[in-house]
Structure 1
Amino acid sequence: MNKKNTKKHGLKKGKGKKGNVQKLNIISKITLVFQVMALIKSLIEFVNLFL
Structure 2
Amino acid sequence: MNTRWLYKVVVVKPQFLGPKPEIVESTLASLGLQGWELVSVVQLGMNVNLYLKKEA
TM over 0.5: no
TM-score (norm 2): 0.30
TM-score (norm 1): 0.32
Structure of higher CA gyration radius = 1
Structure with greater helix percent: 1
Structure with greater strand percent: 2
Q: Which has the higher contact order (CA 8 A, sep 6+)?
A: 2
